[in-house]
Amino acid sequence: NNRYEIKKKLGSGSFGIAYFALEKDTNKKVALKKVKLAPKGSVKTEAVLLSSLNHANIVRLFESFFIKDLFWIVLEYCENGDLGTKIQKVKSENGRIKPNTIIRWTYQMLDALQYMHSRKVLHRDLNPANILLVGDNVKLADFGLSKQLLQSTCHSAPTGTWAYRSPEMFDETYNSKSDIWSVVWYFLNFFVLI
Catalytic residue list: 125
- 33 assigned binding-site residue: yes
* Burial class of residue 183 (count of CB atoms within 10 Å of its CB; 0-12, 13-18, 19+): middle
d(CA 175, CA 192): 29
Element (H, E) at 63: strand 61-67
Is 74 in contact with 10 (CB distance < 8 Å)? no
Residues counted in the chain: 194
Strands 121-122 and 147-148: antiparallel
CA distances from 58 to 54, 61, 95, 183 (A): 7, 9, 27, 15
Q: Residue positions in the annotated binding site? A: 33
Q: Residue positions in the annotated binding site for ATP? A: 33
